[in-house]
Amino acid sequence: MQERIAELRAAGEAAVAAATTTDELEELRVAHLGRKAELPNLLRDVSKLEPAERGIVGKAANQARQALQAAIDARVAELKASELDAQLIADRVDITLPGKAEPVGGLHLLTRVRRDIEDIFLGLGFDIVEGPETETVHYNFDALNHAENHPARDRADTFYLAPSPHLDGDVQRLLRTHTSPMQVRHMERAEPPVAIVVPGRVYRPDSDATHTPQFHQVEGLWIDTDTTLADLKGVLLSFARAIFGPDREIRLRPHFFPFTEPSVEIDVSCHLCGGTGTLKDRSRCPLCKGTGWIEILGSGMVDPNVLAAVGRPEFDPEKVQGFAFGMGIERIAMLRYGLSDLRPLYENDVRLLEQYA
């Protein structure tokens, strides 16, 4: 009996070693270890043997069966590995062929710059509010301390809306010429201290390479009991460095705006020539025109008349004070991305937009 077991085991092992495919091995498994195979049947019949032989034969048969199973498993693993190798070779592709096309979208440059500006001012402690694009003369000019004969009110500088039979009230309506109306609108409903920036679309009847009849601004307003011109400088210096680089300096240049007093324009040291006015090749810097400075925005301390126009004791100009500023998003975009003409931004040729996306 034991000889027979040894024979079966040897024959099985030889056949397994000779097998060349996993299918063949499956056939061998059925032939040698399946229900009808001899070896398992030997094991099944062990109980019929003499008690003395049972242990010996059973053990041998079991060992033979396990050995054969192990041999098959090992051979299967071996063959699978080489079959996979062969498959991988057959699957080889030209990896330089194009990938599956995925459409690539992008934000418009103006949105990207607006978000950058918003994020910088969020970091400096400003909230973000937005306001209407159609406005009244009151919020756009009167409450902002524009004299009755201030040229910005002229029809050459402001889009007025035609009278409408559908609207109540005898007010003169316009498209806001700046985001500044939100200064007073916000103070009418908020409590001091106030720290806001107001991004949004504004309108003026201008049309050339650097002026479009619609453009975008970001207004800033900070009102508290002790906000100073030095604070304005600190905030705008931080902003300028965030946008134009850590080495930038700013300069306050006195100016006039009806709604701030004192008023200053802010120049940032030129990021192209490093503020020297001269490029490496010793030519005059084309961006700052050799001056080393670039005007980026207008600002100042909020005029007491603007605070008074709010008409609330909380904004009594003897008690609270602060600064305001307004910048053009297009202007920042032009300076940062080297645009010389604004009009393509509104033509929206996607091939151009994608370059900035």
Partner 1 sequence: MRVPIRWLGEYVALDGRDATEVAARLNVTGTELDRLVHHGVETPEKIVVGRVLTCEPHPDADRLRVTTVDIGAEEPSQIVCGAPNVAAGQTVGVATVGAVMPGGMKIKKAKLRGQASVGMICSARELGIGEEHDGILALETVLPGAADVAPGTPLTDVLAHADDVLDLEITPNRPDCLGLYGIAREVAAATGASLRPAPWTAAGAAEQGSTAEEGEDAAAVDPRGEAIDGFSLEVTTTRCPRFTLRLFQDVVVGPSPLWIQARLSAAGQRPINNVVDITNYVMLVTGQPLHAFDADRVAGGSLTIREAVDGEQLETLDGTTRTLKAGELVIDDADGPTSLAAVMGGARSEVHEGTTRVLLEVASWDGPTIHRTAHRLDLFSEAASRNAKGLAPEQVDWAQALASRLLRETVGATRVGGTLSAGTWNSAVVQPPLAVRESRVERLLGTAVSRPRQTELLDALGFGVTDAEPDAPAGTGTLQVVVPAERRADVTREVDLIEEIARLGVVADLEPTLPTRRRAAAARLTPAQRARRRVEDVLVGRGLQEVVGWSFTDAGAAGRLELPEGDPRAAAVVLDNPLSEDQAVLRPSMLVSLLDIARHNRTRGVDDLRIFETGTVFRDAPDPVRADMPYEHLAVAALVQDDVFAAKGLLEALLGALRIDDWALHATDEVQFLHPGRAARITVGAGDDAPTIGLLGEVHPRVADRWDLPRVATFLIDLDRLLPLVPDARTFRPVGAFPDARFDLAVLVADDVTAAKVVAVARKAGGALLEDVRVFDSYRGKGVPEGQVSLALHVRLRAADRTLTDEEIGGAREQIVAALAEQVGGVLRG
Task: Give 220: exposed, middle or buried? Use CB within 10 Å, 0-12, 13-18, 19+.
Answer: buried
Q: Whole-number minimum distance, CB 128 to partner 1, in Å? A: 6
Residue selected from 79, 231, 242, 276 as contacting partner 1 according to rule CB under 8 A: 231
128 contributes a contact to partner 1 by CB under 8 A: yes
Q: Whole-number minimum distance, CB 295 to partner 1, in Å? A: 9
Find the binding residues for partner 1 in span 129-168 (CB under 8 A): 132-136, 147-151, 154-155, 159-164, 166-168
Q: Whole-number minimum distance, CB 97 to partner 1, in Å? A: 21
Give CA 179 to chain center in angstroms: 25
Q: Which is nearer to partner 1, 59 or 319 (CB)?
A: 319
Look at residues 200, 189, 216, 229 and name the one whose alpha carbon lies nearest to residue 128.
200
Look at residues 239, 238, 269 and name the one whose alpha carbon lies nearest to residue 251.
269
CA Rg, the chain, in Å?
A: 41
Q: Which is nearer to partner 1, 91 or 168 (CB)?
A: 168
Q: Which is nearer to partner 1, 34 or 123 (CB)?
A: 123
Contact assessment for residue 175 and residue 161, using Cβ atoms and an 8 Å cutoff: yes
Q: Which amino acid is at 46?
A: V
Find the binding residues for partner 1 in span 232-291 (CB under 8 A): 233-235, 237-238, 251-256, 258, 261-265
Cβ-proximal residues to 63 (8 Å cutoff; 6+ apart), any chain:
none
Q: Which is nearer to partner 1, 125 or 311 (CB)?
A: 125
Q: Which is nearer to partner 1, 12 or 292 (CB)?
A: 292
Q: Residues binding partner 1: what is the number (CB under 8 A)?
A: 91
Cβ-proximal residues to 78 (8 Å cutoff; 6+ apart), any chain:
none
Q: Whole-number minimum distance, CB 132 to partner 1, in Å? A: 6
Long-range contact pairs involving 4-12 (C-beta distance under 8 Å, separation at least 24): 4/42, 5/39, 5/42, 5/57, 5/60, 5/61, 5/64, 6/60, 6/64, 8/32, 8/38, 8/39, 8/42, 8/64, 9/39, 9/64, 9/67, 9/68, 12/39, 12/64, 12/68, 12/71
CA 208 – CA 188 distance, rounded (Å): 37
Residue selected from 115, 284, 319, 343 as contacting partner 1 according to rule CB under 8 A: 115
Q: Specify the DSSP class assigned to residue 303.
A: P
Q: Which is nearer to partner 1, 19 or 109 (CB)?
A: 109
Contact assessment for residue 39 and residue 32, using Cβ atoms and an 8 Å cutoff: yes
Residue selected from 38, 116, 118, 314 as contacting partner 1 according to rule CB under 8 A: 118
Q: Using the rule CB under 8 A, give the single segment among 25-33, 56-64, 83-91, 107-115 that binds partner 1.
A: 107-115
- Per-residue interface string for the shown chain with partner 1, residues 304-343, x marking contact by CB under 8 A: x----------------x----------------------
Residue selected from 6, 10, 74, 107 as contacting partner 1 according to rule CB under 8 A: 107
**Tokens 């029809």 -> residue:** 155
Token reading at 6: 């040894």
Output phi, psi for 71, to 5 deg. -65, -40
Q: Using the rule CB under 8 A, give the single segment among 32-40, 55-63, 90-98, 198-206 that binds partner 1.
A: 198-206
349 contributes a contact to partner 1 by CB under 8 A: yes
Q: Which is nearer to partner 1, 213 or 311 (CB)?
A: 213
Q: Which is nearer to partner 1, 24 or 224 (CB)?
A: 224
Q: Whole-number minimum distance, CB 252 to partner 1, in Å? A: 4
Q: Whole-number minimum distance, CB 25 to partner 1, in Å? A: 34
Residue selected from 3, 94, 208, 226 as contacting partner 1 according to rule CB under 8 A: 226
Residue selected from 38, 49, 79, 108 as contacting partner 1 according to rule CB under 8 A: 108
